[in-house]
Structures are given as structure tokens and as C-alpha cells.
Amino acid sequence: MAGPGRIAYIASRGPPLLRVRRTGPLLTGQASNWRMPEMKTWIAPLLAAGSIAVACYPAQAGACESDKSKLTVEVTVDADGYPEVSPEMEEVRACAGDEIKWKFKQGARVFKVEFASDSPFEWKQQRENAGGTLKGTVRADAARDDPYKYTVEADGKPLDPVIVIDP
């Protein structure tokens, strides 16, 4: 039995996890007089460390979620032979790892998707015959502030939509 002023450590191995101090003798039938240290002495540093860790963690890390239903672009050809997509598909928003598809309907013999300078995919240009599908998986390092500009061509006639890769 520990005497007055003795310290007991609550830990299994290594440094103590919590230290409590006995303040007086313990007699039979008497309630325990072990006391916990003041909370501010051992909780405050933990709260401060946790607050710093939360403040340093980027709010958007791993938070990118795209609308999977808006990752397939259907390309048609207008009466003049120019490719067109629905207005909501002129800017595709995606995340790293997403697969973007271009489905080409009838109306032209050859379709092409080409990125002028930089591409969010492993490729910069692909061609397909009418009725086909082109696809690409967004690279892990493709997120950036500027949208990727590209051209969709139908028999050499262009359309210039964009792809935005969110972090």
C-alpha cells in the first residue's frame, strides 16, 4: 500500500500515461483519496497539439468528388458538320483517377480529341471512327488551377470545350 505523498503511474510500458498522487492515508472503510492532476496541466497541451494538426491539414485533402454522370461527353454533328456537345458538357469537372469518355454519334467519318499543350491524361491526341468512344483516365498529378483546353474535331471541324481537374 502506498503511503501519503506517494505517486502511482498508470501505464503499461514506456513513459507514464497519467500520474496521480495520493494525498493522505487510506483507512479501512474510508473512500479513496487519490486525486487526478489538474486537467489544465495535462489536457491543454494535447488540445493545443490537436488544434495545430487540424489547422495544418488542408481542408480539401482527399475531398474531391465528381459527378460520375457528367464524365461522359456525347458528341454530335450539327447541320454544317461541326461537332457539338450539350452546354453543360462544355466544361467537364473531374478528379484524379476519374475516367472521361467521349461518345461520338454518327454524322462524321473521323473524330479526334486533341490537347494543345498539356493533357490531364497519358495521351495528348486520340482518333476514332464515327460511332466509337474515346476515353482517358485523369492522372494523379493533373490537378491545377487552370482548365485544360482541348479540341474535339469532326472531319477536321473544331469545337473547343475545357476540362477542369479539381484538387
Q: In whole angstroms, give the CA distance from residue 49 to residue 43.
A: 10
Location of each CATH 2.60.40.420 domain in the chain: 68-165
pTM of the shown model: 0.60
Tell me the fold of 68-165: Immunoglobulin-like (2.60.40)
Q: Are strands 18-22 and 125-129 parallel, antiparallel or unpaired?
A: unpaired
| Dihedral of the alpha carbons of 121, 122, 124, 130, in degrees to the nearest 10 | -80
pLDDT in tens, 87-106: 888 899 999 999 999 999 87
Give the residues of the chain that fall short of pLDDT 70: 1-62
pLDDT of residue 23: 53
Partners of 164 in the β-ladder: 93
Q: In whole angstroms, give the CA distance from residue 22 to residue 10.
A: 13
